[in-house]
Chain A
Amino acid sequence: MKIPLSRIAHARSGDKGDTVNIGLITYQPGHYPLLVREVTPERVKAHFGELVKGSVVRYELPNLGALNFLLHEALGGGGTLSLRIDAQGKTFGAALLRMEIDAD
């Protein structure tokens, strides 16, 4: 069964230079293995398509039921260089929650 990630997780995103970080957090600790299985760096990279020019790196924080993603070269230069309306990547967290995952 496909469900949107927003059903089991919430997120907050921010910037460091031209890198966006997304903290993705489960509502229920029991969903953490599902998050680890479904939300791979490869899928995150594909989800954002042309918005992310560089690599996507994933870190695991099982103590918080959370994953931390670093999306490199994702802000059109970052900080003051960026020409984007979301130059600080504030809305990337919500964008990630659109992802459809396999809940079975």
Chain B
Amino acid sequence: MIRIANGQGFWGDWLEAPVRLVEQGPLDYLALDYLAEITMSIVQKQKQADPNLGYARDFPPLIARIAAPIRERGIQVIANAGGVNPVACAKQVRQLAPQLRVAVVLGDDLYDRIDEFLGRGYPMANMDTGEPLSAIRDRILSANAYIGAFPVAEALATGADVVIAGRCTDTALALAPMIHAFGWGPADYDRLAAGTVAGHIIECGSQTTGGNCQVNWQSIPNFANIGYPIVEAEPDGTFVVTKHAGTGGRIHSDVVKEQLLYELGDPRHYITPDCVADFTSIQLEDAGSDRVRVFGIRGGPRPPMLKVSISYAWGYKAIGALVYSWPEALEKAGAADRIVRERLCRLGLEFDEIYTEYFGVNACHGPAAPPVADPPEVQVRIGVRGQDRKAVDRFTREMAPLVLSGPPSATGFGDGRPAVREVVAYWPALLPRGEVTTRVEVVE
């Protein structure tokens, strides 16, 4: 049996979680997930500004904090913290923790190969819209193939204390140690699917130990000291989801079910670079306090294509807000929206979208929310999005004037006019897997 923990569900997750996982109980592997779809474009911009950047900058100082215990106890850390510059990330880790051996997984970054692929006739069409990539070619900011668990397992086999990948799948971070420790091969479909499901269960950290859980949330103990998830994996593909004794939160089959369904598409075809897992085969069993046993998982062969995550510069957006107080707060907010729209129209400004919502009334639930009779206060949020930066910038000057020139009792404009934000959009595409070659390097 091996113990694999997840100590970071996204870049920005609780900084203390990985430290506590190492300090508060037994562990063999510590997986840390840093990358969301949009993160790659952020790190790409950082690398363009400074060739020594382009990775999750929180990661090297974190590793420095846990360097001594992971080295002493032989815990291997696996993270997709490398972003678009895994080697620079590894060098920074080595600088802060020279006693550690660090390996990097390379080959996912396809930014310099886009024209080669287009030239060879791969359309890399948007998987959602069908549009060919040539439509946005000159606006591409990053392009990374999602790579699977086998190259990560290869990096673990070097004996490195820390394995740093770029855009590997979230589930690969947990599956890779199983491949490494149990010797699973590419045709062990059911076991690869089981490891993938284990990875899915823990990839969002404490969202599987009671965080963001609707089942009796008031009764979930000690959120402040919530334990992060640990998988106790067996060579046959069965596993137990648990957490360190004495930590907060709760692990129960209800909680695990919520996470299994989180960001799920077609449950029979959960597609990764390693296998296709069938979520309708998963069996759960509560096996004691804060322990859920998972078994019965089936899977199929890996797909011939790899998914490529491309980001590109779309345009600009800004969101402005004002608060109106009782009485008739909602009517006042609605009037403010009409005034802003009329003024934008008279200025001749055009936007891709103008969107208004009434926070405190129905911004989250829309028509599903019941009507509220004369609420104490309402925030009107108006957002605009467009290709023309000047138009978006002009909009940001149209909210504050309403305080003096619109309905009464407006407030909540203390932060000044809203910021114009660059919109980086996401373009998912497919590429034959043979086009992507990964390799492992040990960084000395």
Are chains A and B native binding partners rather than an unrelated pairing? yes
* Cβ proximity bits A47-68 to B, threshold 8 Å, 1 near / 0 not: 1111100000001111111101
How far apart sit A25 and B353, CA to CA, in the bound complex (Å)?
35
Question: Is the pair B363, A84 in contact by a Cβ cutoff of 8 Å?
Answer: yes
**Distance (Å) between the CB of B258 and the closest chain A CB?**
4
Residues in A neighbouring B384, C-beta threshold 8 A: 83
- Whether A33 sits at the interface, judged by CB under 8 Å, is no
In chain B, positions 248-289 with a C-beta closer than 8 Å to chain A are 254, 257-268, 279-284
Residues in A neighbouring B213, C-beta threshold 8 A: 12
How far apart sit A73 and B345, CA to CA, in the bound complex (Å)?
26
Interface-central residue, A18, A50, A59, A65, by most chain B CB under 10 Å: A59
How far apart sit A11 and B254, CA to CA, in the bound complex (Å)?
10
- Whether A102 sits at the interface, judged by CB under 8 Å, is no
* Cβ proximity bits B365-403 to A, threshold 8 Å, 1 near / 0 not: 111111000000000010111000000000000000000
Residues in A neighbouring B359, C-beta threshold 8 A: 85
Q: Give the number of chain A interface residues (Cβ < 8 Å).
A: 47
Question: Is the pair B257, A50 in contact by a Cβ cutoff of 8 Å?
Answer: no
Question: Is the pair B282, A76 in contact by a Cβ cutoff of 8 Å?
Answer: no
Which A residue's beta carbon lies closest to that of B279? A61
**Distance (Å) between the CB of A35 and the closest chain B CB?**
13
Stretch at the interface among B81-89, B424-432, B433-441: B424-432
Question: Is the pair A81, B423 in contact by a Cβ cutoff of 8 Å?
Answer: yes
Q: Which of A18, A66, A78, A86 contacts B261 (CB 8 A)?
A: A66
- Whether A41 sits at the interface, judged by CB under 8 Å, is no
Residues in A neighbouring B363, C-beta threshold 8 A: 84-86
Residues in A neighbouring B282, C-beta threshold 8 A: 63-64
Q: Is the interface of A mostly helix, strand, loop or mixed?
A: mixed
Residues in A neighbouring B319, C-beta threshold 8 A: 83
Residues in A neighbouring B258, C-beta threshold 8 A: 10-12, 23, 25
Question: Is the pair B353, A77 in contact by a Cβ cutoff of 8 Å?
Answer: yes
Question: Is the pair A49, B367 in contact by a Cβ cutoff of 8 Å?
Answer: yes
How far apart sit A83 and B363, CA to CA, in the bound complex (Å)?
11
Question: Is the pair A80, B424 in contact by a Cβ cutoff of 8 Å?
Answer: yes
Residues in A neighbouring B366, C-beta threshold 8 A: 48-51, 95
Question: Is the pair A83, B383 in contact by a Cβ cutoff of 8 Å?
Answer: yes
Residues in B neighbouring A78, C-beta threshold 8 A: 426
- Whether A98 sits at the interface, judged by CB under 8 Å, is yes
How far apart sit A95 and B280, CA to CA, in the bound complex (Å)?
25
Question: Is the pair B214, A91 in contact by a Cβ cutoff of 8 Å?
Answer: no
- Whether B212 sits at the interface, judged by CB under 8 Å, is yes
Question: Is the pair A15, B263 in contact by a Cβ cutoff of 8 Å?
Answer: yes
Residues in B neighbouring A62, C-beta threshold 8 A: 280
In chain B, positions 209-266 with a C-beta closer than 8 Å to chain A are 212-215, 254, 257-266
Q: Which of A18, A63, A77, A93 contacts B214 (CB 8 A)?
A: A93
Residues in A neighbouring B261, C-beta threshold 8 A: 12, 21, 23-25, 61, 64, 66, 68
Q: A81-B314, A93-B214 known; A21 and B367 CB under 8 Å?
A: no
Question: Is the pair B357, A79 in contact by a Cβ cutoff of 8 Å?
Answer: no
**Distance (Å) between the CB of B202 and the closest chain A CB?**
15
Residues in A neighbouring B215, C-beta threshold 8 A: 10, 27
How far apart sit A27 and B252, CA to CA, in the bound complex (Å)?
12
- Whether A94 sits at the interface, judged by CB under 8 Å, is yes
Question: Is the pair B368, A48 in contact by a Cβ cutoff of 8 Å?
Answer: yes
**Distance (Å) between the CB of A77 and the closest chain B CB?**
7
- Whether B444 sits at the interface, judged by CB under 8 Å, is no
Question: Is the pair A23, B264 in contact by a Cβ cutoff of 8 Å?
Answer: yes
Question: Is the pair A95, B262 in contact by a Cβ cutoff of 8 Å?
Answer: no
Question: Is the pair A12, B259 in contact by a Cβ cutoff of 8 Å?
Answer: yes
**Distance (Å) between the CB of B364 and the closest chain A CB?**
4
- Whether A7 sits at the interface, judged by CB under 8 Å, is no
- Whether B191 sits at the interface, judged by CB under 8 Å, is no
Residues in A neighbouring B257, C-beta threshold 8 A: 23, 25, 64-66
Question: Is the pair A10, B254 in contact by a Cβ cutoff of 8 Å?
Answer: yes
Which B residue's beta carbon lies closest to that of A25? B257
How far apart sit A10 and B353, CA to CA, in the bound complex (Å)?
34
How far apart sit A51 and B363, CA to CA, in the bound complex (Å)?
10
**Distance (Å) between the CB of B229 and the closest chain A CB?**
15
How far apart sit A17 and B429, CA to CA, in the bound complex (Å)?
13
Question: Is the pair B37, A12 in contact by a Cβ cutoff of 8 Å?
Answer: no
How far apart sit A18 and B126, CA to CA, in the bound complex (Å)?
13
Residues in B neighbouring A59, C-beta threshold 8 A: 266-268
Nearest first, the 7 closest Cβ-Cβ pairs linking A and B are A23-B261, A83-B383, A49-B367, A51-B366, A83-B355, A95-B365, A12-B258
Chain B residues packing against A (C-beta within 8 Å)? 37-38, 128, 212-215, 254, 257-268, 279-284, 314, 317, 319, 353, 355, 357, 359, 363-370, 381, 383-385, 423-426, 428
26 A-B residue pairings within 8 Å (CB atoms): A12-B213, A12-B259, A12-B261, A15-B263, A16-B263, A16-B265, A17-B128, A17-B426, A21-B261, A23-B257, A23-B261, A25-B258, A59-B266, A59-B268, A61-B261, A62-B280, A79-B38, A80-B38, A80-B425, A83-B385, A84-B383, A86-B363, A91-B365, A94-B365, A95-B369, A98-B368
